[in-house]
């Protein structure tokens, strides 16, 4: 007797929400604690993120009569990543546009200082052109879109590895 493959949607929504809440919490903690970058927080967040994806894939496998293919693991992982990425992107946009807009200005200033330090003989026109290009990538919309892309790449890698480990040969 064949079993019916369960829907990925409830698992993707649940674990995608967990992943998004983790990312949003990390942004809020860094903002409230006035941290630019914190390796400890990043590593803890990375480990928890991997666990969220693994538990989501495991939940699908359990719901699927303990059967899991690599393709199914990737589908579940990417579905989780899409939900997490979209929610995180929406919050990121709000965060960098309205809550902490000075972050973008600080990043632009850092880029300018690094450019001037490594190329002190640049003309004003070259500086303006280089900063114009970097400004394309330093705005809340770009940060939001990159969070979706980053989530998808992360989800693909983690779900591929998890799928290789957890697959069943049925």
Instruction: Give which of 66, 58, 48 is closest to 11, Cα–Cα.
Output: 58
Let me know if residue 32 belongs to a domain: yes
Please check the confidence at residue 163 and state whether its pLDDT lies above 80. yes
pTM assigned to the model: 0.89
Q: How many C-beta atoms lie closer than 10 Å to residue 85's C-beta?
A: 28
Q: Residue 59: phi, psi to the nearest 5?
A: -60, -40
Let me know if residue 161 belongs to a domain: yes
Let me know if residue 59 belongs to a domain: yes
Q: What percent of the chain has pLDDT over 90?
A: 65
Let me know if residue 117 belongs to a domain: no
Q: Residue 37: phi, psi to the nearest 5?
A: -140, 140
Domain that holds residue 71: 9-100+140-166
Residue 123 pLDDT: 86
Let me know if residue 68 belongs to a domain: yes
Let me know if residue 3 belongs to a domain: no
Let me know if residue 35 belongs to a domain: yes
Structural domains counted in the chain: 1
Let me know if residue 113 belongs to a domain: no
The model's confidence at residue 108, banded by pLDDT at 50, 70 and 90, is confident
Q: What percent of the chain has pLDDT over 70?
A: 98
The model's confidence at residue 135, banded by pLDDT at 50, 70 and 90, is confident
Whole-number Cα distances in Å, 165 to 73, 148, 150, 155, 160: 10, 26, 23, 15, 9
Residue 74 pLDDT: 98
Please check the confidence at residue 126 and state whether its pLDDT lies above 80. yes
């Amino acid at each position: 007797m064949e079993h019916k493959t369960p829907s990925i949607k409830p698992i993707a929504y649940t674990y995608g929400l967990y992943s998004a809440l983790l990312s949003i919490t990390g942004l809020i903690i860094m903002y409230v604690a006035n941290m630019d970058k914190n390796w400890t927080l990043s590593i803890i967040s990375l480990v928890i993120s991997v666990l969220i994806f693994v538990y989501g894939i495991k939940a699908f496998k359990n719901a699927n009569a303990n059967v899991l293919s690599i393709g199914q693991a990737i589908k579940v992982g990417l579905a989780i990543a899409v939900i997490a990425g979209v929610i995180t992107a929406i919050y990121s946009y709000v965060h960098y546009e309205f809550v902490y807009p000075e972050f973008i200005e600080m990043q632009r200033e850092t880029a300018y200082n690094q450019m001037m330090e490594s190329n002190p003989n640049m003309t004003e026109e070259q500086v303006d052109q280089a900063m114009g290009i970097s400004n394309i990538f330093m705005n809340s919309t770009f940060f939001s879109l990159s969070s979706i892309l980053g989530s998808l790449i992360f989800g693909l890698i983690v779900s591929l590895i998890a799928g290789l480990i957890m697959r069943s040969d049925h």
